[in-house]
Amino acid sequence: MRKFLIAGNWKMNGTIDETKTLLSGLLAGSYDDTKADMLVCPPYTSLETASNMLQDSKIAVGGQDMSVHQKGAYTAEISATMLLTVGASFVILGHSERRQYHAESDQLVNAKAKAAIDAILTPIICVGETLDQREAGQTEQIIGMQIDGTLEGFSADMIKKSVIAYEPVWAIGTGKTATPEMAQDVHKFIRERVAGIDKDAAESVQILYGGSVKPDNAKDLLSQPDIDGALVGGAALKADDFLKIINAV
Ligand code: PEP
C-alpha cells in the first residue's frame, strides 16, 4: 500500500520571515500522518530555518534542485551533502522550470538523481509534456522518453528510493489542471513503463501529480488509483490551502 506524499515547491518565494510565518501556519494545522506525509521545499536560504522549526514535527524538508557535483569550482551550486547538512531529506530534480530556463536534460537529471540517492536524499524526478506535445498526440512518447532517460541505469532498489512527479508543463502555474482521468492515464502509463524495469518497484514507487493542484480539485485527483500525492506550487504558499490539500487524501 503506497502512502500519499504532499509536497510543496515554494520556488523563489520565502524570505526567512515569510518562511517562519508560513511554517507557523502549517504547524498550527493538523492532518492524518498515517495516510500522508507532508514535505516543504523552500529556497536554499530558508532550508535551515525550516529544518529547525520543523524538527519536532513530521513535516519533511527538501531542496528544489542540487548540483550533480560533490564539491569544487561550481559557482552558486549546492551539493547533496550541503542539502543534508541543513536537514533536507528530499530534492526536486528536473522541474520543468529547470529544464526550460537552465536547459536541464534527462541525462543530467539522471546523473543528479543517482548522486542524490548515493547521498541518501530522496529525488523527486519530474517529467511532463508541453501543450504543443500534448496537442500533437505525443504525450506518451515524450513521457516514455523522459522516464527512460531519467531512470537510465536504475536498479529496482534505486527506483524504490525515488519519487516520480508527473507535471504537465501546460498545467503548471496556469490554473489549468489535467482532469483526473487525463492525469490517471499518464500515471498508469508511467507505472507500466517503470514496470518494464521492475514490477515490484513500479508498484511501490510514489507518483505525484503536479499542475495547479488546489483545495477544490485535490480530492478528485488524489482519488485516482495511480496518483499517490501532489507536487504543489502556488497553493503551497498558503498554509490553509496546503493543509486543505493534504486533508483531501
Ligand atoms: C510546480 O511548479 O511544481 C507546480 C505544480 O506549480 P503550480 O501548483 O503552481 O501549478
> Measuring from atom 8 of ligand 1, which residue has the nearest CA?
233
- The model's confidence at residue 60, banded by pLDDT at 50, 70 and 90, is very high
* Ligand 1 center to 235 CA (angstroms): 8
16: helix, strand or coil: helix
Q: Is the pLDDT of residue 177 over 90?
A: no
Distances (CA, A) of 209 to 7, 30, 183, 185: 10, 22, 7, 12
Q: Is the pLDDT of residue 69 over 90?
A: yes
Q: What percent of the chain has pLDDT over 90?
A: 97
Helix ranges (H only) for 119-179 are 131-135, 139-150, 156-160
Distance CA 14, CA 29 (A): 19
Read off the C-alpha cell for 97.
522550470
CATH at 193? 3.20.20.70
Distance CA 3, CA 67 (A): 29
CB 61 within 8 A of CB 47: yes
Read off the C-alpha cell for 129.
509534456
Q: Is the pLDDT of residue 209 over 90?
A: yes
The pLDDT assigned to 81 comes to 98
Read off the C-alpha cell for 169.
508543463
* Ligand 1 center to 232 CA (angstroms): 5
> Measuring from atom 6 of ligand 1, which residue has the nearest CA?
233
Instruction: Note the pLDDT tens digit of each residue in 8-55.
Output: 999 999 999 999 999 999 999 999 999 999 999 999 999 999 999 999
The pLDDT assigned to 176 comes to 85
Instruction: Note the pLDDT tens digit of each residue in 184-197.
Output: 999 999 999 999 99
Within 6 A (CB) of ligand 1 lie 9, 167, 172-173, 210-213, 231-235
Give one word for 137, left, alpha or beta, with left for phi > 0 and alpha for psi -120 to 50.
Answer: left
Q: What percent of the chain has pLDDT over 70?
A: 100
Read off the C-alpha cell for 177.
489542471
Q: Is the pLDDT of residue 175 over 90?
A: no
Distance CA 132, CA 138 (A): 9
- The model's confidence at residue 56, banded by pLDDT at 50, 70 and 90, is very high
Query: Catalytic residue numbers?
Result: 95, 167
CB 193 within 8 A of CB 147: yes
**In the chain, how long is the greatest CA-to-CA distance?**
49
> Measuring from atom 7 of ligand 1, which residue has the nearest CA?
233
- Exposure string of 124-158, with b = 16+ CB inside 10 Å and e = fewer, is bbbbbbbeebbeeeebeebbbebbebbbeebebeb
Instruction: Tell me the torsion sign for CA atoms 39, 221, 95, 108.
Output: positive
Q: Is the pLDDT of residue 1 over 90?
A: no
Contacts of 2 (CB under 8 A, 6+ apart): 203, 204, 206, 228
* Ligand 1 center to 183 CA (angstroms): 14
- Parent domain of 96: 4-246
Q: What angle do CA 195, 197, 198 make, to 5 degrees?
A: 60
Q: Enter the pTM of the model.
A: 0.98
Q: Is the pLDDT of residue 114 over 90?
A: yes
Residue corresponding to grid cell 489542471: 177
Specify the number of domains making up the chain: 1
